[in-house]
Homo-oligomer: A and B are copies of this chain.
Amino acid sequence: MERIPILKLGDLLLVTIQVDMHDRLALTLQDDLTTAIVAHGARGVLIDISALDVVDSFIGRVLGNIASMSRLLSAETMIVGMQPAVAITLVELGVTWRHVRTALNVEQGMRRLRASLDGPRA
């Protein structure tokens, strides 16, 4: 069965989305990721979407939901590598991400995620 792999890097989880996510794959990712957060006690989730040229409202909503669920499991979500066209589409679609932080690339995202985890709020 098709699955998007979830890589563990210390207390962070890293997911690279490369394929156009159809509905079932997106929901599988949601299940797998929440399970992985609990299993590994992860404190942060990095989702790289640099390979996505287009994002529709369904995927936008799934990503937002994943962030909200992660937050409930006390992990922060950082979406990295968004292409400019995707940012335009998301705003035009009216997708609002309440619990999502973004960074330009995975390295910057990881640094900022670690800084906020190690910081005074942690």
Contacts and interface: CB of A to CB of B under 8 A. Distances in A.
A107 interface: yes
A108 to B, nearest CB: 10
Interface in A52-97: 81
Determine how many copies of this chain the complex contains.
2
A26 B52 CA distance: 18
Contacts of A18: 4-5, 16, 18-19
Contact of A5 (B8, B10, B51): B51
A68 to B, nearest CB: 25
Interface of A: 3-5, 7-10, 14, 16, 18-19, 48, 50-51, 81, 105-107, 110
8 contacts: A5-B18, A5-B48, A5-B51, A7-B14, A8-B105, A9-B106, A16-B16, A18-B19
